[in-house]
Structure 1
Amino acid sequence: MGSSAYSPLDQFIQANNPRRKIEIRKGNRGRPRSTEDEPEIPQLCWLTVKIIGMRNLRKADLLSQTDCYVRLWLPTASRQEVRTRTVSNCRNPVWNETFHFMIQSEVKNVLELTVCDEDTITPDDQLLTVRFDVAKIQPGEKVRLSFELNPENQEELEVEFLLDNIPGVSEKIVTNGVLVSREVSCVEVQVDDTKMRSPYTREAIDLNGRNFTFIMKGSYEETQNISMGPSCSQRGSDSTMFHYIKYSQPNLDVMLPKECLYCGHDANRREKDINGPLSVPLNSLDLGKKRTVVRGASYEVSVKEEDGSKNLDLRLGFELCAEEKDFICKRKKVVAAALKNVLQLDEDLQEDEQVPVVAVMTTAGGVRSMTSMFGSLLALQELGVLDCISYISGLSATTWTMAKLYEDANWSQKDLRGPIDDIRKYVIKSKLHCFSTDHLKYYEKELCERKLEGHKLSFTDLWGLFIDSMLHSEENTHKLSDQQLAVNQGQNPLPIYLSLNVRDKFSTLDFKEWVEFTPYEVGALKYGAFVRSEDFGSEFFMGHLMKKIPESRICFLEGTWSNIFSQSFMDIVYLSGHSEDFWHRWTRGTEDDVEEHPALPTRPHEQTTRLSLPKGYLSNALREMMTGRPAVSYYHNFIKGLQLHNKYLENESFCMWKDTVLDSSPNQLNAMGDYLKLVDTAFFINTSCPPFLRPERKVDVILHLNYSGGSQTLPLDLFSEYCLEQGIPFPCTELSREDREHLKECYVFQDSLEAPVLVYFPLVCDTFRRYKAPNVERSPTDMEQGRVDVSNIFAPYGTGQLTYTEGNFNKLLNLCNYNILNNKHLILRALKTAVERKKRFKNCSPPQSSDLS
């Protein structure tokens, strides 16, 4: 916080108002850890920033020089901005103003210095922003730097930095090398509204129906109101709580009510604005005991600290959770027995070392993909391969198939023709009943209940209820965490559902973050942050569960995973194969590296100083229009408040998924709002493969079941290119021109030992036209059943088609079933290769390629 932030308090104390009293104290709330690998206690530092002046300042006004001030923002130290005074009509303004920030050295601290032009009528103009990595300054070092903003015009900003360790003050943190959870303090604010009689006026004073508003920026609560008096329609508590980062230097802003004074028995009351708004820095208060912050004629506001030490309710780590590790151990027993059977092995496989991890991934495609997945899984079951599979992932409408199957805790051990017969009835049935009066009333009731529970509503919630009505005859109460019963003995593959977290004003190509859902956890792959599935949707702050909200029914998650309403214009441009560069040129701000004098020595984790020049209002409006999404799903952000580690850009797990324009801008990346904004993964790349490429899962074989419309190679091409750019081990999937013009039913890709073997099934109708089963030719009367036009993205299998005829359903189901059965030899060869790989890896011998073409 800057010195300017303290001046109102200094003036207030000097005024010695007899009706207000402020006392000083600082408290803390520790959070003990029991982990063996607890890091060393990091050092807190005091950063002093002196804004000296500018030279050759650019002109922002037509008729005069710029009315300039500098705004400072260091969000890791305080969520409140501070600023210098304004120097009017000056080309070389001088400030010589000093500001102070308490920082945590383990956190990536990037100070933003924004040069602004003050306007009296219109909003102030932001001329430029300098982002400076504080890690460049060493403790005990005073550095005076000149930032070259425009070398041609010799425009410079001169700033002095001083960094000092704070002796005797330490903070315990929890980190996974990417995110940092810091200590949290909790304060109670209490209002005593006992009627008082003014010793000066002898008037009775009443506060009935009056509100006290308390604001603490950067806290979990942000704003709290206390309503006093029995006349309030909803009487509020006389106390409230704030949770905040212990060393974040917040202010408690108090908006005090006007006091109502009754003169004797006169019914006419007069309002006196005795006490105006007040801003109190918490680090100026001694919170060891209950202390008065402000006292009026009829009330007293006091603040005290509440001790509430507790462990994190969020898991920070890139390893698999304990429950999934236990599942893999149990599942490998099932897989080992199944592999011995299908591969006709002479010896049992050693579960820990020789059993490969096999996964099935699917792609989006509406009811087409849901139906196709049933056909593929039925074939895998008939081959005995379903028990060889440890994971199944889905996105969009294939999550409907998965959610339907996992309602039965033993679905893979039963004949899948039963669930297929059940889903067939819903697919061929008209969907008009979903719009009946009774259903519409049901939707309204469910949405109202969901809002009362604490969820933020969106159109995708209504879409989820529609899906539920479309695929069930009665209300489905299943939740994601209920699926734990289907995997607790390793009896079925573990399901993984995929979504993308996006940002407003950014296209999906520019900003997207993979979010995976399992029955055990929901987590962000890039950050290594996971919450229990039953806690997803609840409110978190700094890794602590602050408000438990009932777990969403799985139909609402299905609406999120298959959100067909989340596509923006920029997404369409990307998916059509065109570059976004043209739009970026007109809508993105300009970012450049800035040289500083004298040049500071840099270490690998230190970021270069950046200069940002914002675009104008027209460009911003164009950007909002191009990136606007009709609907996204809102869920409370479980990583709210967490900060980025100082060396997060060196973390291998983070860099594996580092693919957004904000990844090197920690303040913008860390400006995590109250909500995650989730969309259908297919609007970036139609794939559910990313969870299988986490090194911790050690997936050896991926069965890639493609159900997309249009090009059958585009999703695979896009994801292969993505993995290449990210440095993620993935087999080369290059196809010959001849193959691209006439796709076969199955391809197997394999190269390095680090990459999994990929068995790729495009959605094609090849030999199925002539064969109704492997090596069983069709009769002339049966040829019609082999004509399945899946290349047409429109009817009868268009992505937007929700109802099929029974004949079309059966043909698509049989096609996908046949394509798997007809390529049994390639699947078994891939499994055998994986087993041989595991043996070679165990013996540490050089890997040798296998011919899988």
Structure 2
Amino acid sequence: MSCAESPKSQHKRSGVYFATGLQEEEKGAVHKRSFKVLEGLKKLNIQADQAPVIAVLGSGGGLRAHIACLGMLSAMKELGLLDAVTYLAGVSGSTWALSSFYTKNGNMQGMEEELKHRYEKNEWHFDESLDKAIQASRRENYSLTDFWAYLVVSRQTRELHDSNLSGFKKQVEEGVLPYPIFAAIDDDLQDDWREKKVQNSWFEFTPHHAGYPALRAYVPITEFGSRFENGKLVRPEPERDLTFLRGLWGSALADIKEDKAFIMDYFKDMHEKLKKKYLHRGGAKTVTYSNAEQMDVDEMFLDLLMAYAIDQDDPSIKDKLCVMQQALGPETGEFGKEMAEIIQNWNEISPEKKEQFLDYLLDYLKKPQEPITYSLRSIGNWIGDLFYDALTFVRKTGMCLWEWQWGTVYNFLYKHGNIADETMCNREFLHLVDAGLAINTPYPLILTPVREAHLILSFDFSAGDPFETIRVTADYCHQHKIPFPEVSEDQLKELAKSPKSCYILRGETGPVVMHFPLFNKDNCGDDIETWRKKYKTMKLSDSYTPSMVTDLLRVSKENVQKNKEKIVNEMREVTGHYLQRTTPCALSKIHH
């Protein structure tokens, strides 16, 4: 789609499009929302003829951020503050909460009891989640994001969503709920981000579109993940479900080393569960081969793949191959000769050749071969293709672990003639990951000029430095000449020692920023560090109790409740000045 086409025609067609201003669908939704905002302001005794743009941001922080963000939304709604909000945006764990909020049509009633029930009953259906992950492994673009989404995020949140992001359109187009923005970053541009804080790194998702705000290049959200070439849709793919997107948005709970160890341990734990699910129903079946004892080729190959996935240099792999060769017998013809050669040279051949052979062996086992047709067909009749899908899942997950491959999707800008940046258009695939790896809050998406935010309420759910997001955002904005309140490093360090529940940042231009650290002396007293340790980012949901959920919701709600008057005052202030604040009071200072 060319840049010259009218906005109204853009959202009716497939393919890549460019938006020079606010996209037509978002513009319409925000316009409708402005009437609701005016009504909300009036209920707060704020009179206005035009609605200011007020945005609420949620940071990352895993399950802690998910629960705390739900608490914040509940308090905002209960106090009538959410009705005055135009945008809701999130990173990582906050995206889990926001997506749940929209899935429930913004209804927070009964939220606390439902959350407590989930963690009281330890409700999580492993088999259902595993089936989803195995289905995802059939895709060409399977990556650790799929594994993480269906087997980690679903376990943490106790939710498995089949719904789609496009399903939120009606709510936002009618202005009933704020317009949602979900953040990710381009993992292939991580070096550019670290060195130059490049704006191209940021990627956004809304109920209408997915794309790069800095390039103003997008695709309809229903076509995200489909294959494009030169801006044209060449191979449609079904819209990815919300569970996958939650895995993509929330894929960084810790540093790489800790994440890798966590996934590896999780993967090892799945070994016995896979056996139980596919091999031990009604008692294991065995087959007698000509030159071997009774053994299960299926279980043998699963053990082999698991061992290889966990450690490619495991010396037992060669031994497992030898046993498997014996089990298959001498009747395997040319394949047997090739297998013997591979085994003999196993320690010398390249990882690529090893992986090719394992894939070849998997394909070979899928097809019954004479004269051992009985053995292999008995397996096929017993569990059908499901077992081989599980083996493919193990193979692909192992490869992704060793290559550390996340967020693989087709690049919709591939070979696009209107993109001068070769980095952006020469890649066949994108790798999109948690935006918390850049800035642990979605400021860059809200601070784009087309969104014209006047007031930003930033809720920081991190367990570390409560001002790190302010520090990094200020640096990012300084480098790109984006209006943002100036901050003093010495002042931030001092405030971080004993943070309060609310800080107000003002500048000569740009939005007013209200910053809310989750754990602070107003709601935690002198026990801030105790709270941080109690709700560590990598803490598994299995160790959450109903009382822990209740306590976390309480402190999160208090950050809103105790600062309602301040929030209303700032809403009144920006409403009065609306597009231009003529009184630059308290410049470059933080108020609390």
Asked if the contact 2:63/2:156 (under 8 Å) is kept, the reply is no
| Cα contact 2:454–2:579 (8 A) shared by 1 | no
Q: 1:849 pairs with 558, 574, 585, which one? A: 585
Aligned 8 A contact 2:112 2:550 in 1: no
SS in structure 1 of the partner of residue 239 of structure 2: coil
Q: What does 1:300-699 align with in structure 2 at a 5 Å threshold?
A: 313-342=15-44, 344-345=45-46, 347=47, 349-350=48-49, 354-409=50-105, 411=106, 414=107, 416-430=108-122, 433-435=124-126, 439=127, 442-443=128-129, 445-452=131-138, 454-466=139-151, 467-472=153-158, 476-503=161-188, 506=191, 509-510=194-195, 513-564=201-252, 567-568=255-256, 630-643=404-417, 666-667=421-422, 669-670=423-424, 672-699=426-453
* CA deviation after TM superposition for structure 1 residue 320, in Å: 1.8
Q: SS of the residue aligned with 1:526?
A: coil
Pair 1:807 & 2:562 matched: no
Conserved 8 A contact 2:62-2:538: yes
Q: Does the residue aligned with 1:384 lie in a helix, a strand or coil?
A: coil
Amino acid at match of 1:672: N
- The number of aligned residues is 438
Contact 2:502 2:563 in 1 (8 A): yes
Q: Which residue matches 1:120?
A: none
Separation in structure 2 between the aligned mates of residue 364 and residue 34 of structure 1, nearest angstrom: 38
Per the normalisation by structure 2, the TM-score is 0.68
Amino acid at match of 2:517: P
Asked whether the 8 Å contact 1:710–1:791 carries over to 2, the reply is no
How far did residue 737 of structure 1 move? Answer: 5.5
Q: Which has the higher contact order (CA 8 A, sep 6+)?
A: 2
Structure 1 counterpart of 2:325: none
Which of 503, 522, 525 lines up with 1:747 in the alignment?
Answer: 503
CA contact (8 A) 1:423 1:471 kept: no
- Matched-pair contact (CA < 8 Å) for 1:507–1:568: no
Instruction: Give the distance between the partners of 1:330 and 1:457, measured in 2 at CA.
Output: 39
Q: Distance in 2 between matches of 1:447 and 1:801?
A: 19
The Cα of 1:757 is off from its aligned counterpart by 0.6
Give 1:743's aligned amino acid: P
Residue 836 of structure 1 and its aligned partner are, at CA, apart by 1.6
2:58–2:91 Cα contact (<8 Å) kept:
yes
Residue 505 and residue 389 in structure 1: after superposition, are their counterparts in 2 closer, same or farther (change >3 A)? closer
**Is contact 2:56-2:89 (8 Å) kept?**
yes
User: Would the alpha carbon gap of residues 455 and 788 (structure 1) be closer, same or farther in structure 2, given more than 3 Å must change?
Assistant: farther
- Show the counterpart of 2:472: 718
Q: 1:216-227 residue pairs with structure 2 within 5 A?
A: none
Quick check: 2:57–2:457 contact (8 Å CA) kept in 1?
yes
Supply the distance in 2 between the matched residues of 1:527 and 1:836 (Cα, whole angstroms): 33
Match of 2:560 among 782, 803, 820: 820
1:358-395 deviations in Å (ceiling 9; x for gaps): 00101111111111111111221222111001111111
After superposition, give the CA deviation of every residue in 1:110-141 in whole Å (9 maximum; x if it has no partner): xxxxxxxxxxxxxxxxxxxxxxxxxxxxxxxx
What amino acid is the match of 2:67?
T
* AA partner of residue 521 (structure 2): D
TM normalised by structure 1 equals 0.48
One-letter identity of the residue aligned with 2:549? F
Distance 1:721 1:445, change over 3 A: same
Quote the Cα distance in structure 2 between the aligned partners of 1:494 and 1:633.
Answer: 24
518, 527, 543: which one aligns with 1:763: 518
- Give the C-alpha shift of residue 566 in structure 1: 8.8
SS of residue matched to 2:484 = coil
Query: Unpaired segments of 5 or more residues in structure 1?
Result: 1-30, 38-309, 573-627, 647-665, 771-786
Kept in 1: contact 2:63–2:157 (CA 8 A): no
**Cα–Cα, structure 1 residues 455 and 427, in superposed 2: closer, same or farther, change >3 Å?**
farther
Q: Deviations over 1:555-603 (max 9, x none)?
A: 001111111379557999xxxxxxxxxxxxxxxxxxxxxxxxxxxxxxx
Q: Which of 533, 537, 547 does residue 794 from structure 1 map onto?
A: 533
Taking the aligned partners of 1:323 and 1:33, their CA distance within structure 2 comes to: 16
In 1, Cα distance between the equivalents of 2:201 and 2:403? 16
SS across alignment from 1:482: helix
Q: Residue type matched to 2:512 in 1?
A: V
Distance 1:322 1:465, change over 3 A: same
Query: Match for 2:16: what amino acid?
Result: L
List per-residue Cα deviations over 1:37-67 (Å, max 9, x = no partner): 9xxxxxxxxxxxxxxxxxxxxxxxxxxxxxx
Amino acid at match of 1:493: P
* Counterparts of 2:33 and 2:189, CA distance in 1: 41
- The ranges of structure 1 where at least 4 consecutive aligned residues each deviate by more than 6 angstroms after the TM superposition are 31-34, 569-572
Alignment-derived partner of residue 588 in structure 1: none
1:541–1:333 Cα change, 3 Å:
same
The residue number in structure 2 matching 1:702 is: 456
Distance 1:505 1:704, change over 3 A: closer
Worse-matched range after superposition: 316-325 or 728-737: 728-737
SS at match of 1:509: helix
* Aligned counterparts of 2:6 and 2:558: Cα–Cα separation in 1: 53
**Which residue matches 2:274?**
none
Contact 2:3–2:18 (Cα < 8 Å) also in 1:
no
By percentage of residues, which structure has more helix?
Answer: 2
* Partner SS, residue 703 of structure 1: strand
Task: Go from structure 1 to structure 2 and tell me whether the alpha carbon gap of 1:324 and 1:767 turns closer, same or farther (over 3 Å shift).
Answer: same
Maintained 8 Å contact 1:636/1:675: yes
Measure, in 1, the Cα distance between the counterparts of 2:247 and 2:2. Answer: 40
8 Å contact 1:701–1:758 — kept in the other structure? yes
Q: Is the 2:190–2:201 contact (alpha carbons within 8 Å) kept by the matching residues of 1?
A: no
The unaligned stretches of length 5 or more in structure 2 are 261-401
Contact residue 368 and residue 799 of structure 1 kept, 8 A: no
Q: Distance in 1 between matches of 2:238 and 2:230?
A: 20
Structure with higher strand content: 1
Measure how far apart 1:321 and its partner are.
1.6
Query: What is the CA–CA distance in structure 2 between the aligned matches of 1:642 and 1:519, rounded to whole Å?
Result: 24
Q: Secondary structure at the match of 1:515?
A: strand
- Contact map agreement 2:252 2:259 (CA 8 A) in 1: no
Question: Structure 1 CA distance, aligned partners of 2:571 and 2:104?
Answer: 27
CA distance in 2, matches of 1:738, 1:567: 26
Question: Which secondary structure state, in structure 2, belongs to the residue aligned with residue 406 of structure 1?
Answer: helix
Identity level (%): 24
Distance in 2 of aligned mates of 1:736 and 1:670:
36
CA shift at 1:504, angstroms? 8.1
* RMSD of aligned residue pairs (Cα, Å): 3.2
Specify the code of the residue in structure 2 equivalent to 1:457: Y
